[in-house]
Amino acid sequence: MKIGLIVEGPTEKSVFEKILKKMGIIPEIICSHGKNNIFNVRKTAIYVHSLLLDYKCNKVIILVDRNNDSPKILQNKFKGILRKLSNENMQERVFFCIINRKIESWLLTAIPTCSKNPENEDYPEKRLSECLGRKYIKGYRRTVSQLAAQLDLEELKEKCPSSKCFFDAIRDPK
């Protein structure tokens, strides 16, 4: 099964490449360069069309950090993207997942002593810096890649409930 992802940026791209590699999946990933670009309905509809038609993906998963946004508002924005897609067959193959807080919340699970409830951390980047003993710089590929490679997927599912949406979307037979 071929899977396409639309993510906010290079940090998310690196994390999801590593997670899916552990699952034996090589995805097609489009970086939107920010959540605002993901919710640009026209742009994202083009990304989805490209992944489904040009790259022949079976499904597309759109992933966004919640930050401090209301999940209900994010869901409504996603519905706007679905309405823009040309047909119902495409709509059924697009999934939307909200990462509680930020992708860095998920990275906290790579450091076992760092946080018992990573998605409850208000500032996961700051907590990562504390746990790493050096400043965590978002987008610094080497650090992100190393942390993502250390993720234990079962522990991630257990400590980060928002990851369930992602893993469910991967397993969905559509």
**Per-position DSSP letters for 43-84, written without gaps between them:** HHHHHHHIIIIIS--SEEEEEEE-TTS-HHHHHHHHHHHHHH
Q: Hey, what domains does the chain have and what are their CATH numbers? A: 3-171 (3.40.50)
Residue 92 has what pLDDT? 93
Residue 86 has what pLDDT? 75
Residue 113 has what pLDDT? 87
Over residues 60-96, the pLDDT tens digits come to 999 999 998 999 999 999 999 998 887 888 899 999 9
Residue 155 has what pLDDT? 95
